[in-house]
């Protein structure tokens, strides 16, 4: 099993809907043994009324792995947090940063920043049910409530519950008029606001999220905050995490891209035997050779063949052979 780094939040991969599922997390763990991984957001209501085994199951080799929850009902969130702990997650994280209209209509995500006391009640309820850390992810503001005083009050209110880890996306959220994609790009990044939070709350762990794409970006941000959370860059260029693992973590035994795929094969065989389609897994592997000779060949061959009936792990082996001879 993966050895957990003393500070798993130093480098983490953001929870991303439709991206960071269990197959992607298994893949990322092969690249970087010590970064923190987060699930896609799972709502407390879905856990209360759905199939927890289907929603929460994960491979033990994924650890350190955190469960991100969405919701605004303290009792339901407490119940969901307890389920997460029982399933073996290392951390529970509350989403108060997602700007999706669908999320906001359900009274969770970024709109919760407008109700700090409700969020504090939710955090307290979860903390009362679990012994693992309960953390929170937020934005620097919402709509026209984007003054620093409101953010300070929000963090202060949540910290009073005992929460000491805040993952802060350094953009504000517009709940109307911008799509989730636009909310990741149009509101300007305000790293200075996150730095000020760290200065004002030196006893809290402040993790910065937003716009981090390169190893040098990470180097810069770690001079000001306690950790960085990487989003789409970790998905589209996943081997970036190998560089960060080598730079910042104790384990320097980094697998090559070819070794990673070879180690994925038994996992893929197992998943296919359980009825999972190859392209459900292989879509996460397309960016592995980004910036390398043969990267386009790799992407194209898998994209053209992984979805075909009966496609199996041999598709990946064939793609490896193609780029090895490219």
Nearest-angstrom CA–CA distance, 269 and 306: 14
- Out of 41-45, 103-107, 137-141, 162-166, which region has the weakest mean confidence (pLDDT)? 103-107
Residue 282 is part of which domain span?
Answer: 257-324
Total number of domains constituting the chain: 2
Q: Residues 97-116: pLDDT tens digits?
A: 887 766 555 677 889 999 99
Cα end-to-end span (Å), the chain = 35
The reply to whether 72 falls in a domain is yes
Nearest-angstrom CA–CA distance, 21 and 58: 9
The reply to whether 4 falls in a domain is no
Decide which of 248, 267, 301 is a domain's last residue. 248
Is 95 in contact with 173 (CB distance < 8 Å)?
no
Nearest-angstrom CA–CA distance, 237 and 198: 29
Q: Give catalytic status of residue 111 as yes or no.
A: no
Same domain, 297 and 220: no
Q: Does pLDDT of 2 surpass 90?
A: no
Same domain, 104 and 58: yes
Instruction: Determine phi and psi for 211, rounding to 5 degrees.
Output: 75, 10
pTM of the predicted structure, to 2 decimals? 0.94
Decide which of 185, 220, 248 is a domain's last residue. 248
- CB neighbours of 226 closer than 8 A, spacing ≥ 6? 7, 9, 10, 198, 205, 206, 207
Give the pair of three-digit tokens for residue 283.
């879509």
Same domain, 147 and 218: yes
Nearest-angstrom CA–CA distance, 264 and 8: 23
Decide which of 248, 280, 297 is a domain's last residue. 248
The reply to whether 116 falls in a domain is yes
Cβ density class 185-216: b for 16+ within 10 Å, e for less? eebebbbebbbbbbeebeebbbbbbbbbeeee
Chain-centroid distance of CA 266 in Å reads 24
Same domain, 108 and 189: yes
Same domain, 204 and 275: no
Q: Does pLDDT of 62 surpass 60?
A: yes
The reply to whether 2 falls in a domain is no
- CB neighbours of 238 closer than 8 A, spacing ≥ 6? 27, 28, 31, 284, 287, 288
Q: Does pLDDT of 267 surpass 80?
A: yes
**Residue 91 burial class via C-beta count within 10 angstroms: exposed 0-12, middle 13-18, buried 19 and up:** buried
The reply to whether 6 falls in a domain is no
Query: Looking at residue 136, which CATH number applies to its domain?
Result: 3.20.20.70
The reply to whether 31 falls in a domain is yes
Higher pLDDT, 207 or 184: 207
Query: Looking at residue 320, which CATH number applies to its domain?
Result: 1.20.120.1460
The reply to whether 37 falls in a domain is yes
Same domain, 182 and 68: yes
The reply to whether 1 falls in a domain is no
- CB neighbours of 36 closer than 8 A, spacing ≥ 6? 8, 9, 11, 12, 13, 64, 65, 66, 91
Same domain, 109 and 132: yes
pLDDT score recorded for residue 108? 79
Higher pLDDT, 65 or 178: 65
Q: Residues 194-240: pLDDT tens digits?
A: 999 999 999 999 999 999 999 999 999 999 999 999 999 999 999 99
Give the pair of three-digit tokens for residue 38.
């987060």
pLDDT score recorded for residue 123? 98
Biggest CA pair distance of the chain: 60
Same domain, 165 and 122: yes
Same domain, 98 and 234: yes
Same domain, 149 and 288: no
Query: Which pLDDT band holds residue 314 (cuts at 50, 70, 90)?
Result: very high
Nearest-angstrom CA–CA distance, 184 and 142: 13
Same domain, 193 and 290: no
Same domain, 285 and 187: no
Q: Does pLDDT of 156 surpass 70?
A: yes
């Amino acid at each position: 099993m993966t050895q957990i780094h003393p500070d798993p939040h130093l480098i983490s991969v953001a929870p991303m809907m439709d991206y960071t599922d269990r197959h992607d997390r298994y893949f990322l763990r092969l690249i970087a043994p010590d970064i923190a991984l987060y699930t896609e957001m799972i709502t407390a209501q879905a856990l209360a009324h759905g199939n927890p085994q289907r929603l929460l199951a994960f491979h033990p080799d994924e650890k350190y792995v955190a469960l991100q929850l969405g919701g605004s009902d303290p009792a339901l969130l407490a119940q969901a947090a307890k389920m997460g702990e029982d399933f073996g997650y290392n951390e529970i994280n509350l989403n108060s940063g997602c700007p999706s209209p669908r999320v906001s209509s359900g009274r969770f995500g970024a709109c919760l920043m407008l109700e700090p006391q409700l969020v504090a009640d939710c955090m307290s309820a979860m903390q009362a049910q679990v012994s693992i850390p309960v953390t929170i992810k937020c934005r620097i503001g919402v709509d026209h409530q984007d003054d620093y005083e409101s953010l300070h009050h929000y963090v202060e209110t949540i910290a009073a519950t005992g929460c000491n880890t805040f993952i802060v996306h350094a953009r504000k959220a517009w709940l109307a008029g911008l799509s989730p994609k636009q909310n990741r790009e149009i509101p300007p990044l305000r790293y200075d606001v996150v730095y000020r939070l760290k200065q004002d709350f030196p006893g809290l762990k402040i993790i910065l999220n937003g716009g981090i794409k390169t190893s040098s970006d990470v180097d810069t941000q770690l001079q000001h905050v306690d950790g960085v959370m990487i989003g789409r860059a970790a998905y589209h260029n996943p081997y970036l995490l190998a560089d960060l693992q080598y730079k910042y973590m104790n384990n320097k035994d980094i697998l090559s891209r070819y070794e990673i795929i070879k180690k994925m094969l038994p996992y893929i065989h197992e998943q296919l035997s359980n009825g999972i389609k190859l392209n459900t897994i292989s879509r996460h592997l397309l960016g592995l050779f980004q910036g390398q000779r043969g990267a386009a060949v790799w992407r194209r061959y898998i994209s053209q063949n992984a979805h075909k009936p009966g496609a199996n792990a041999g598709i990946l082996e064939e793609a490896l052979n193609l780029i090895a001879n490219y």
